[in-house]
Structure 1
Amino acid sequence: MASISTAIDAPGAFQDKTQMEFGKDIDRVDSNEVRTTSTESLDPAAEKKLLLKLDLFFVPIIMLVYLTCFLDRTNIGNVKVAGMPEDIGASPQEFSTAVSIFYATYVAFEPPWTIMMKWMTPRILLTSLCVVWSIATVFSGFITSIGGLYAARLVLGACEAGLFPALNLYLTMVYKREEQAKRVSYLFVCTAIAGAFGGLLAYALLKMDGIAGYEGWRWVYIIEGIFSILIAPIIWFGLPNDPSNAYFLNEEEKHMMKIRAAQRAQYMGSDEFSWEEVRIALKDPKLYLSGLIQFCQDILLYGFSTFLPSIIVSMGYSKIEAQYLSIPVYIFGGLCFLSVAYISDRLCIRGPFVILTNIPGILGYILMLCPTSNGVKFFGTFLCAVSVYNGPGLNLTWLNVNVAPHYRRATAIGVQLSIGNTAGIVAGQIYRTDPYVLGNSFSVGALGLAQLLVVIKWFYIRRCNEQKRRIENGEIADNRKVKTGDWELDFKYHL
């Protein structure tokens, strides 16, 4: 049996300002939520074993569902080089509009889906969205005009809008603040796998050209959509509404989950919806700084992940070569993010890693813009891949761990991603014609602006931590308007 140590305190020992120290890995317990005469701390070895079990059951499902989601979103880049625009009579401008129009509904629906997740329950929300966007993907294989493509992309955007923020929020229900970057990295690794697998799958499916009288690009949509539908039952049975009572946990592990929940009471907060928490989130400077950074980083994420095959074709490679040459680029970017996220969690440092990982991206885009050989330009795509995944993922984690309680964090995640994902509209317009000088130039400029914004946010958060320290030590008066959640004195922001 796992070792659990217990310390008994006298009744009434918890007051509203009591601070309970459980070590560096544990958040403060808010006494407004917890009234108990005992505090329990977990044996590190037992907790590590529990984390491994949580990862083994939750992470594959979360990765699988996001993999299919991103695959269905970005396969438009694969079908572009396979002749889809010509077959449906779409001009380059109309096709760019089809890429961008996805984000019109995507951006609009992100905040409401995120806030509604607890009310609808994760199981109902995620399963329903998966079914609808899968059907939209299948029907994309039967469109005959640009209007049909517009309609399919709008439905796809509305449904996929709820997935990524909801999965992020679900992770915060399972893991502590210092455990999250690595788990968020799994989601962004899925974007890399989707890019790699999407290119490989498209390469295979395009060979079905002519079967049953359908072009190869239609089979890309049909097969990938059917695959996504098969994921829906896995979501329903695999992601419980209450992770602390998951079907795969024994009684001892469920008790450990309750202890972890008590340790994270300040971070999670009440289960009751509060408009006041929404209002506080919307007035938080951290949210808007994070949103602007995400916008800059998402310029890369959506431009690169959607148009990498086209970018490679513009270097002089064939359309078929572009499909499989994109695979190692995506895999390299994903592996880099896994490594950096692990270090970020160990050190509880976020902003500086965003700055460091953006540097290779700046160099990569410069190589693609300069009059260099095709081999050098292709090498530049590997450098870009480092920034493409690390930047958005680490920045999102930086917001996740610095906003509490639950509904304040749900609002912040939804709004931040809405701001960031408007970059998808821009990406569809700047990557129109090869050799994509406008798109690559815009991307390197976005990275430069992101660097400046990260520095500003880092200094702002450091100032907030210092202000809390001085108030706690009695050096200055406490004139804060908000004193709950992440604004409490003992909530230390991750830098």
Structure 2
Amino acid sequence: MASLDAKQPIHDGSSKAEEGDLDVDQLHIDPAKEVKLLAKLDLAFTPVIMLVYLSCFLDRSNIGNVKTAGMPTDIHASAEQFSAAVSIFYATYVAFEIPWSVLLKKLTPRYLLTALCIVWSLVTIFSGFISNVGGLYATRLILGACEGGLFPCLNLYLTMVYRREEQAKRVSYLFVCTAISGAFGGLLAYGILHMDGISGMAGWRWLYIIEGLFSVVVAAAVFFGLPNDPSNAYFLNAEEKELMRIRAVQRQAYMGSEEFDWAEVKIAFRDPKVYLSGCIQFCQDILLYGFSTFLPSIIQGMGYNTLQSQYFTIPVYVAGGLSFLAFAFISDRLTIRAPFVLFANMFGIVGYILLLTKTSDGVKFFATFLCAIAVYNGPGLNLTWLNVNVAPHYRRATAIGLQQTIGNTAGIVAGQIYRNVPYRLGNGFSLGALCVSQALIASKYLYIRHCNKTKERIVNGEIPDTRKIKTGDRALDFVYHL
């Protein structure tokens, strides 16, 4: 079995569990009670986590909505300058991912995430008052520095609550929010752009202001809704807190010591699967950032007007989000990752080929639905694949931050390849990225399978254990998810 249970030894890098006052016989949880506990955790945490990520992605991707609403003309930005503004966001975004993820426990989830949310909310509001390209560049840089910490920190927070085999479903909530933000953003933009001219302000300015105010409200929800210690959350009763304590002991090999250790950071930086995962994420994020930012423009290029291009994005985003929920649920049940990423990418390959060929606008619109399946499943399932295969906490924190740093540099590329209708360069580049990703996924699968087989041979006494690192995910009883 891929996850540790009560009968397996506990490895946390220090040879003993920190919850040493519980013996093995006590490490049993009634399955029915655990199902109820998980339902309660989901009900409490999921809405807050989804709201904050929805807010984050909405404030990031609305630059695609304001483009079709005339913002470049109003601030006298050329096509090249606007593309640079899309790309420049990721310069600070990738620079701050590792620092924020490593500092999560020290600064505590509640205070760190709330502070980041407040700052990017204010920046979004101020974006409604910019009058030149310099102002756009400045707000995008600050926005990137704040939002860079959210995704890796939320992923780490999930690992503090859920087992390895429970995580793809929960990570899927974040990427569903990416899809929802696209759908909600399109619907919101459709409504707010009708405010064009009110108080002498353009509709795109109202879009920034209103979405920024929404994010301020979300910051309050984060502060009161995400406890620093999920195992002692205010909504849990005494019995449920004890269940959380037992689950923590069972997951000790995955979580590890609470103390920061530079050695764990170094191990993560030398781990081949982190770099393979990062390269896969880079390819998949080419799609995610290009598609989510420029879908309104892609649809507008099919001959639809500004308002139509906003609300026609809604069903595409919904389809992408629902497909990820389905894939993630099955992936968790089977504890299999790579085959689902490979399968989802096949839809994207077909979709981008249709966008690049001479077909009717109806076929091209259908192609966007196929692309959406790969756009959301690829990055989400790949990240989960890394989440569940790195331990303990600070090794995983570094790994997630490094993987996201590598992957999110794709945002810089995405801003440059989607410039002019009909976006043949962008769609062609995305197709190529998908094909490269398929090869990398197969390579990572073979590498991880080799690691599992090596551990198995050591356990069976077929070969000596000459490995230098034997803790965390390198422990012999830690089986990597394929």
Q: Assess same fold via TM > 0.5.
A: yes
How far does residue 27 in structure 1 lie from its aligned partner after superposition? 8.8
8 Å contact from structure 1 (residues 27, 264) kept in 2:
no
**AA at the equivalent of 2:23:** S
TM-score by length of 1: 0.95
Among residues 23, 32, 44, which one is paired with 1:38 in the alignment?
A: 23
How far does residue 33 in structure 1 lie from its aligned partner after superposition? 2.3
Counterpart of 1:22 in structure 2 is: 6
Q: Identity percentage over the alignment?
A: 69
C-alpha separation in 2, matches of 1:456 and 1:207: 50
**AA at the equivalent of 2:316:** V
Cα deviation code 1:382-440 (max 9, x no counterpart)? 00000000000000000000000000000000010000000000000000000000000
C-alpha separation in 1, matches of 2:168 and 2:223: 25
Q: Gaps spanning 5+ residues in structure 1: where?
A: 1-18
Asked if residue 330 in structure 1 is aligned to residue 344 in structure 2, the reply is no
C-alpha separation in 1, matches of 2:123 and 2:197: 22
8 Å contact from structure 2 (residues 152, 401) kept in 1:
yes
Asked if residue 269 in structure 1 is aligned to residue 262 in structure 2, the reply is no
Counterpart of 2:292 in structure 1 is: 305
C-alpha separation in 2, matches of 1:197 and 1:21: 41
User: Does the C-alpha gap of structure 1 residues 27 and 102 become closer, same or farther in structure 2, counting only changes over 3 Å?
Assistant: farther
Counterpart of 1:187 in structure 2 is: 174
Counterpart of 2:95 in structure 1 is: 108
Q: Gaps spanning 5+ residues in structure 2: where?
A: none
Aligned residues: 475
How far does residue 477 in structure 1 lie from its aligned partner after superposition? 1.1
8 Å contact from structure 2 (residues 176, 321) kept in 1:
yes
User: Does the C-alpha gap of structure 1 residues 27 and 409 become closer, same or farther in structure 2, counting only changes over 3 Å?
Assistant: farther
**AA at the equivalent of 2:471:** T
Counterpart of 2:456 in structure 1 is: 469
Q: Which runs of 4+ in 1 moved over 4 A?
A: 26-31
User: Does the C-alpha gap of structure 1 residues 21 and 192 become closer, same or farther in structure 2, counting only changes over 3 Å?
Assistant: closer
8 Å contact from structure 1 (residues 127, 235) kept in 2:
yes
How far does residue 200 in structure 1 lie from its aligned partner after superposition? 0.3
8 Å contact from structure 1 (residues 104, 157) kept in 2:
yes
Among residues 159, 169, 172, which one is paired with 2:156 in the alignment?
A: 169
User: Does the C-alpha gap of structure 1 residues 480 and 83 become closer, same or farther in structure 2, counting only changes over 3 Å?
Assistant: same
Asked if residue 256 in structure 1 is aligned to residue 243 in structure 2, the reply is yes
Asked if residue 80 in structure 1 is aligned to residue 80 in structure 2, the reply is no
C-alpha separation in 2, matches of 1:319 and 1:20: 53
Counterpart of 2:56 in structure 1 is: 69
Counterpart of 1:431 in structure 2 is: 418
How far does residue 32 in structure 1 lie from its aligned partner after superposition? 1.7
TM-score by length of 2: 0.97
How far does residue 231 in structure 1 lie from its aligned partner after superposition? 1.0
**AA at the equivalent of 1:33:** A
8 Å contact from structure 2 (residues 4, 251) kept in 1:
no
How far does residue 21 in structure 1 lie from its aligned partner after superposition? 4.2
C-alpha separation in 1, matches of 2:276 and 2:267: 15
Counterpart of 1:278 in structure 2 is: 265
Q: Secondary structure at the match of 1:383?
A: helix
C-alpha separation in 2, matches of 1:224 and 1:308: 19
Once the two structures are superposed, the pairs formed by residues 415-494 of structure 1 within 5 Å of their partners are 415-494=402-481
8 Å contact from structure 2 (residues 4, 478) kept in 1:
no
**AA at the equivalent of 1:52:** A
How far does residue 36 in structure 1 lie from its aligned partner after superposition? 4.0
C-alpha separation in 2, matches of 1:279 and 1:412: 10
What's the Cα RMSD here?
Answer: 1.2
Structure with greater contact order relative to length (CA < 8 Å, sep ≥ 6)? 2
**AA at the equivalent of 1:115:** V
Cα deviation code 1:21-62 (max 9, x no counterpart)? 437xx9945452243462221011100000000000000000
Asked if residue 121 in structure 1 is aligned to residue 94 in structure 2, the reply is no
